[in-house]
Structure 1
Amino acid sequence: MKFTILRLLTHSELGMFHEYRRQGKERAKQRSINFDWDVVGKVFPSAENPDTIAITCRRLEDEGTVVEIASWLKRQHKNWRFEGDCPKSSFYSFVDPGVLFAMVVDASSTPAKASWVVIPEDHPARSSILGHGESAQLGKSAMIALYGDEGQYCQTVLSDHFPQLFKEAETVSVTSQKENDNNRDDDDAAPDPLGLFKILARAGHSLPSAVADLVDNSLSHGAREIDITFPNPNAGGRWMCIRDDGTGMTPSGLRGAMKIGQQREYGDGDLGKFGYGLKGAAWSQADRLTVVSKAAGNESTTLTWDKDHLAKTRRWALLTDPVAPEHTSAVDIGDTGTAVLLTQMRPSMEPARGRADSPYAQELAAIKSHLELVFHRYLEGKARGHEKVIIRLNNEALLANNPMGHPLTKEYDQHRIELPGASQDKTAALYVRAYVTPNEAEFDEYIKDLPPLEQRVERDRHSLNGRANDAQGLYFYRLDRLIKWGGWEDLFAKDEHTKLIRVAVDFDRLADEQLQVDISKQLIRLPFAITKPLGDLLKGPRSAARSRYNKKEKAAPTPKGGGKIVSPAGTPAPGGFLPPTTAAGGTPVADPAPAPAAKKDRTSIRLVSSGDKPWQRKTGFKGEEVEVTPLMPTLVTLVQLIDKDAEAKNALSEFLRALETAGVQDQLTDKA
């Protein structure tokens, strides 16, 4: 648990140094350095309640003398102060506001052990550290804490300039690495395991996005229930387990899955891409990855990648040790399934927001909101080729957060845009549908009868736990999984007056190459050739969004599902979509037009692409909804014919209810 802590000191903190006071520069009577509460929470997670944290510190008394002083952190309201040592040496006559305070602390022992130094503005170590990306967060926070390799550059600079304080023996010497190389029986040019580990661990994952990537693996193996365990770090350390009831893997299958960049055949609905997701997502958060998996008719298999073992052996050597007793219940799978266990997890590098909740509570909330948004179609049972999925976080079932799902949202016709350059037999395409969400007055009116707490929850979910202005733009769905959202990809500028519009852009694996889906499946690039067709397609909805924002539109809002979604051939497109005709080259035949206004009704009927009954009745926050599946084509045709007639749809809903009561629905299901 080694951290590198950086802070640019201010006037109020320099009274700690006697020489600063003697020169008459002091502006305050404070005799300590401020430590931000979120830094202390990250470095000392088990010390959340105590008011004092002991640290044995080494520092310079003069240029060549190192002293060791018993110091401590003391809680001061909601922050902490570093106390116990006020250097009297004239060596510190250089101290002025802007000096860089750098501390390397090992928090794994009690008291903690640390070395610290203050570096003047004209010192090359200061310019080296502040000129490197590791210090970037100092632009947002007064103090930052870098864990382990995240502060490797800073530690190297400190070791070079202040070796008496920071020089330590390397855990793996050059000699030992050469000895290992001499014993190799493989290709001399094979990548160094530790080096590759460090590279892959920096592939741009946050904790929520890493968890989502691990959930992808569960869904690709047919999981219907996924349990995520992430206990409080103050109770047993920082670890996480993602367990599913999918098909699991055979011993040889698991060994292949643990291989970096494993090349395999991906199914049409497989969320994987590079053979990297499992390892990259796990390593971005933890130094130890253990996978337990069991396929039908096979014994359970356990394999582990361990960073320390890679550093020691410099070989790609998997461990087969059993899971530690404290984690056995979390990885307990049934007849089939997989459990991914992350241990030796690194602290979050995301800055804490506000002080109302603990950093751990904020992490839980971030994971929850991210998964509810990213996998909302899976949670709703609307992802093609998948049954409804249940995802639990610490035993709490997640609720789908459909960014276009509010009942007052206006839905536009869907359009298909072909991506140029695809092969003749496999045409890649985007399926684009625009939505205009309710304005603030409409939204407030809709939720006014809810209790204040529920109103706040609904607002947060509708704004995707951010600013409404940032939620406008394109929402890219890859195989019904949301991978990127918000913003216009340089098509348009973000505009307060268009903040009500959200545009779903769906694609499948065929479009990966042309959209340049990145290794973490979080970023894409729109080809220039389709920017004009896409921009033209969205002119109408953007104009309607401005009108609704300005409250100039008087028509009653259309319930979701009220628009026509019939393709020329009546055949669903990938993802269960029913696109209208487009001209060659991806240009829409006509600009999209908003669905006609209908009477506000709490019951709607809409077509879906799959289901185990001819129709299913659901009730949620937006009211009652009847989903009609393709199992009964005549019923599908009837729904299409009465699509614009609200009274007819109400009558059909009541007729179907009577059939449900009489048990006819079950009989029709059996025949289907």
Structure 2
Amino acid sequence: MNFDNLKKYKGEETPPEASAMINTFRAFGYNLQTAIADIIDNSISAKAENVWINYEWLGSKSTVTIKDDGEGMDKETLIKAMTPGSKDPNDERDESDLGRFGLGLKTSSFSQCKVLTVVSKKSEHKTLKRCWDLDFVNETGKWTLLDYISNQNLVKDLLKEKSGTVVVWEKLDRLVGNSHIENEAARKVFLEEFALVEEHLSLVFHRYLEKRKIKLWMNGIAINPWDPFMKEEEGSQLVSDELLENDNVRIKCYVLPHISKINEEDRKKAKTEDWYKLQGFYIYRNERLLLYGDWLGIFAKNEHYKNARILIDIPNKLDHEWKIDIKKATATPSILIRKDLVRLGKMTRQTASNIYRFRGNQIMLDDSITSFDFQPIWKAKKQRDGAINYYINEEHPILAKELESESITKKSLKSIFKLIGETTPVESIIQNYSENPESVELRNESKELESGTIKLAQMMFESLKKAGTSNEIAIKQIFNIQPFNEYPQLLEYFK
């Protein structure tokens, strides 16, 4: 576009006020996990092989350092890296570049601290340092990037490296505030936050860690990858693997194994308790996880689809089309690919559902189904209004045999109770309820009182009276027992 016609008009430059703008950078919505992940992105772009995250509890003087052995920066590059908005998001970038706006280092750091120092060493160059102190900027009102570091000991390890960069966070007001070093509650929260950081990094960079493209260390301990797709686990399924958008976007559809195939020890590692919230799309840019556990508004989360996870891999050249934000925390699929996500999502969710449907059908059959080979303990019957009623199958061989006998032993009764408990069709009930909540018949306070329930209650009443219990106490005891507590009209039968 030609702007020559505008150049003839008068105008004024209106640079933003330093203190107002630099404090605005603190409000981009990062948390500690996403902020540190953003710093690691820069290390990966700098071709680092190792990143060391170190934190030290010192109360209000606590510090965080993130060091890498990447290429390092010369003076011009360092100053540019410390300058807000130093990169045009529309510029063409290297395929491995995980940045976009030139704001990540500053916004992620300022979200956590008031003093940001970056020390960098390029191969065969001297070590350089630059510092932003927000209190100093607020005091002076100037964009003054300082050639300063508060404590040389914080970066002494960098001298051992051929090249690399150290990011130092001080005055962690958002994390520790003015806490005293002996404040045990604040210290506990501090340590818990870094436990969450480790968990987050093990997921966000799991593909880098799995392929040994990078090693991450936290206070000297290696961070291991956490694979959300459980690719190496027996029973996991790769349902589909497709290339879309001119082969720029790869989609892999996974279904996790049924929980029964995972032993107790591995269930904790697999985070099976969180599977419901972890279902959905997992969007990666250059193998770095951006967004996960979200169906992107295409589907709703559902209990019997919790084993479904879909990997979407996009290159950084599609950032604009996918609306990747500064924090790399949101992404919106293009209209062109959305119909494919619907198709693949339905297929993956159906496969995930079948895991539970198959197991459910093995323990529960509708009345309309007959079989000489299989008799379930539990059955289900559809009512006229579509509701499903679950009941014990009295034709089951074991139950039928005991029902035909004149008496039943204590051992046999215990075995029957155990059998009923172990075969309760929990998964089928959950599935039916998830697909159609109205289909599961809830207990109805006004349901008809059956003669068998009356006789059983009367037998118990007589037994309590024979044992010397008064009428009043006997009635109270009976109404504290299920299902008698659901039938207040039983009172008229106790005489």
Q: Deviations over 1:148-195 (max 9, x none)?
A: xxxxxxxxxxxxxxxxxxxxxxxxxxxxxxxxxxxxxxx751111111
Superposition deviation, residue 309 in structure 1: 1.4
**Which position in structure 2 is the counterpart of 1:374?**
204
Q: Distance in 2 between matches of 1:338 and 1:268?
A: 21
**Which position in structure 2 is the counterpart of 1:430?**
249
Q: Distance in 1 between matches of 2:326 and 2:278?
A: 24
Q: What residue identity is the alignment partner of 1:278?
A: L
Q: Distance in 1 between matches of 2:261 and 2:92?
A: 49
Q: What residue identity is the alignment partner of 2:345?
A: L
Superposition deviation, residue 551 in structure 1: 4.5
- If asked which structure has higher relative contact order (CA below 8 Å, sep 6+), I would say 2
**Which position in structure 2 is the counterpart of 1:407?**
233
Superposition deviation, residue 347 in structure 1: 3.3
Of 181, 186, 189, 1:359 maps to: 189
Question: Does residue 251 in structure 1 map to residue 81 in structure 2?
Answer: no
Of 275, 284, 290, 1:483 maps to: 290
Superposition deviation, residue 429 in structure 1: 3.4
Q: Distance in 2 between matches of 1:463 and 1:296?
A: 43
Q: What residue identity is the alignment partner of 1:207?
A: L
Report the CA distance shift for 1:513/1:232 in structure 2 as closer, same or farther (over 3 A).
same
Q: What residue identity is the alignment partner of 1:407?
A: E
Question: Does residue 210 in structure 1 map to residue 29 in structure 2?
Answer: no
Q: For residues 591-610 of structure 1, what are the structure 2 equivalents within 5 Å? A: none
SS at match of 1:515: coil
Q: For residues 226-245 of structure 1, what are the structure 2 equivalents within 5 Å? A: 226-234=51-59, 237-245=61-69
Q: Distance in 2 between matches of 1:292 and 1:487?
A: 38
Q: What residue identity is the alignment partner of 1:525?
A: T
Contact 1:428 1:511 in 2 (8 A): no
**Which position in structure 2 is the counterpart of 1:498?**
305
Report the CA distance shift for 1:326/1:248 in structure 2 as closer, same or farther (over 3 A).
closer
Superposition deviation, residue 439 in structure 1: 1.7
Superposition deviation, residue 225 in structure 1: 0.8
Q: For residues 606-621 of structure 1, what are the structure 2 equivalents within 5 Å? A: none
Higher mean C-alpha deviation, range 531-540 or range 395-404: 531-540
**Which position in structure 1 is the counterpart of 2:48?**
223
Q: Distance in 1 between matches of 2:62 and 2:267?
A: 32
Q: Distance in 2 between matches of 1:500 and 1:397?
A: 29
SS at match of 2:28: coil
Q: Can you give the 5+ residue segments of structure 1 that lack an aligned partner in the other structure?
A: 1-186, 382-386, 419-426, 449-454, 555-672
Superposition deviation, residue 198 in structure 1: 1.6
Question: Does residue 388 in structure 1 map to residue 196 in structure 2?
Answer: no
Of 8, 13, 25, 1:200 maps to: 25
Superposition deviation, residue 332 in structure 1: 4.6
Aligned sequence identity (%): 29
Q: Distance in 2 between matches of 1:196 and 1:254?
A: 21
Q: What residue identity is the alignment partner of 2:29?
A: G
Of 130, 134, 146, 1:319 maps to: 146
Q: Distance in 2 between matches of 1:188 and 1:332?
A: 43
Of 441, 452, 468, 2:260 maps to: 441
SS at match of 1:412: strand
Q: Distance in 2 between matches of 1:301 and 1:380?
A: 33
RMSD value, Cα = 2.5
Q: Distance in 2 between matches of 1:248 and 1:394?
A: 22
Superposition deviation, residue 377 in structure 1: 0.8
SS at match of 2:116: strand
Contact 2:72 2:165 in 1 (8 A): yes
Of 345, 351, 354, 1:547 maps to: 354
Report the CA distance shift for 1:500/1:249 in structure 2 as closer, same or farther (over 3 A).
same
Q: Distance in 2 between matches of 1:535 and 1:288?
A: 46
Of 318, 322, 325, 1:511 maps to: 318
Q: For residues 54-69 of structure 1, what are the structure 2 equivalents within 5 Å? A: none
Contact 2:175 2:190 in 1 (8 A): no
Superposition deviation, residue 438 in structure 1: 1.4
Q: What residue identity is the alignment partner of 1:378?
A: Y
Question: Does residue 520 in structure 1 map to residue 327 in structure 2?
Answer: yes
Q: Can you give the 5+ residue segments of structure 2 that lack an aligned partner in the other structure?
A: 1-11, 178-184, 362-495
Report the CA distance shift for 1:460/1:239 in structure 2 as closer, same or farther (over 3 A).
farther
Superposition deviation, residue 412 in structure 1: 2.4
Contact 2:240 2:254 in 1 (8 A): no
Contact 1:471 1:485 in 2 (8 A): yes
Q: For residues 563-578 of structure 1, what are the structure 2 equivalents within 5 Å? A: none
In our comparison, the structure showing a higher alpha carbon Rg is 2
Give the structure-1-normalised TM-score.
Answer: 0.48
**Which position in structure 2 is the counterpart of 1:615?**
none
Q: Distance in 1 between matches of 2:279 and 2:145?
A: 45
Superposition deviation, residue 325 in structure 1: 4.2
Superposition deviation, residue 330 in structure 1: 5.7
Q: Distance in 2 between matches of 1:365 and 1:535?
A: 36
- Structure whose residues are more often helix by fraction: 2
Report the CA distance shift for 1:546/1:434 in structure 2 as closer, same or farther (over 3 A).
same
Q: How many residues align?
A: 339
Contact 1:333 1:339 in 2 (8 A): no
Superposition deviation, residue 327 in structure 1: 2.2
